[in-house]
Structure 1
Amino acid sequence: MARVLYIGGLGRSGTTLIERLLGELPGMCALGEVVHLWQRDIRDDERCGCGAAFSACDFWDAVGERAFGGWHQVDVYRVLALRETVERTRHIPRLAAARLPEDHVELIEEYAGYYSAIYEAAATVSGASVVIDSSKHSALAHCLRWSRALDLRVVHVVRDARGVAYSWTKTVARPEAGGGAEMTRYSPARSAMLWNAHNAAFGLLSRRGVPVRRVRYEHFVADPRRGLQELAGFAGLDVSTADLDFVTEEHAELKPVHSAAGNPMRFTVGQVPLRRDDTWRSALPTSQRRLVGAVCAPLLRAYGYPLRSSR
Structure 2
Amino acid sequence: MDAKTDDNQPTKVLFIGGLGRSGTTLLERLLGQLPDTLPLGEVAHVWERDVRDDEACACGSAFSACEFWQRVGEAAFGGWHSVDVDRVVALKNTVDRTRHIPTLASRRLKGPQLELVSEYVSHYRKIYDAARSDSRARVIIDSSKHASLAYCLRWCEGIDLRVLHVVRDSRGVAYSWAKEVSRPESPRGDEMTRYSPTRAAMLWNAQNAAFGLLRRRGVPVRRVRYEKLMADPRGVVRRLAEWAEIPVTEHQLRYIGGDYADLGPSHSAAGNPMRFTVGRVPLRYDDAWTVGLSPTRKTLVSTLTRPLLSRYGYTEPAPQPTGTVTVQPRRPSDADETATESVTAGASDE
TM-score by length of 2: 0.88
Shift of 1:277: 0.7
Q: 1:170 aligns with which of 179, 183, 194?
A: 179
Instruction: Describe the SS at the equivalent of 2:270.
Output: coil
- What is the distance in 1 between the residues matched to 2:286 and 2:318? 14
**Is 1:181 the counterpart of 2:219 in the alignment?**
no
**Is 1:289 the counterpart of 2:285 in the alignment?**
no
| Cα shift readout 1:84-108 (whole Å, capped 9, x = no counterpart) | 0000111111111112211101110
| Cα shift readout 1:261-298 (whole Å, capped 9, x = no counterpart) | 01001100111001211110000000000100011000
| Cα shift readout 1:33-85 (whole Å, capped 9, x = no counterpart) | 00000000000000000000000001001111111111111111110000000
Shift of 1:179: 2.9
Is the Cα–Cα contact under 8 Å of residues 159 and 216 in structure 1 kept in the other structure? yes
Q: 1:58 aligns with which of 67, 70, 82?
A: 67
RMSD, aligned CA: 0.9
- What is the distance in 2 between the residues matched to 1:258 and 1:239? 22
Instruction: Describe the SS at the equivalent of 2:12.
Output: strand
| One-letter code aligned to 1:7 | I
Instruction: Describe the SS at the equivalent of 1:40.
Output: helix
Tell me which moved more, 232-241 or 211-220.
Answer: 232-241
- Per the alignment, residue 246 of structure 1 pairs with 255
| Cα shift readout 1:196-222 (whole Å, capped 9, x = no counterpart) | 000000011111110000000000111
Residues 310, 272 of structure 1: alpha-carbon distance in 2 compared, 3 angstrom cutoff: closer
Instruction: Describe the SS at the equivalent of 1:296.
Output: helix
- Per the alignment, residue 70 of structure 1 pairs with 79
- Per the alignment, residue 210 of structure 1 pairs with 219
| One-letter code aligned to 1:96 | A
| One-letter code aligned to 1:293 | S
The equivalences for 1:27-176 within 5 A come to 27-176=36-185
Unaligned runs of at least 5 residues, structure 2 = 1-9, 321-350
Shift of 1:178: 2.7
Is the Cα–Cα contact under 8 Å of residues 189 and 292 in structure 1 kept in the other structure? yes
- What is the distance in 2 between the residues matched to 1:34 and 1:142? 15
Q: Percent of aligned positions with the same letter in both sequences?
A: 61
**Is 1:262 the counterpart of 2:271 in the alignment?**
yes
- What is the distance in 2 between the residues matched to 1:233 and 1:63? 28
- What is the distance in 1 between the residues matched to 2:251 and 2:191? 39
Is the Cα–Cα contact under 8 Å of residues 300 and 307 in structure 1 kept in the other structure? no
More helix by share: 1
Unaligned runs of at least 5 residues, structure 1 = none
| One-letter code aligned to 2:213 | L
| One-letter code aligned to 1:143 | C
- Per the alignment, residue 300 of structure 1 pairs with 309
Is the Cα–Cα contact under 8 Å of residues 50 and 267 in structure 1 kept in the other structure? yes
- What is the distance in 1 between the residues matched to 2:86 and 2:38? 27
| One-letter code aligned to 1:187 | S
- What is the distance in 2 between the residues matched to 1:147 and 1:309? 41
- What is the distance in 2 between the residues matched to 1:79 and 1:308? 45
Is the Cα–Cα contact under 8 Å of residues 30 and 132 in structure 1 kept in the other structure? yes
| Cα shift readout 1:3-31 (whole Å, capped 9, x = no counterpart) | 00000000000000000010001000000
- What is the distance in 1 between the residues matched to 2:222 and 2:284? 22
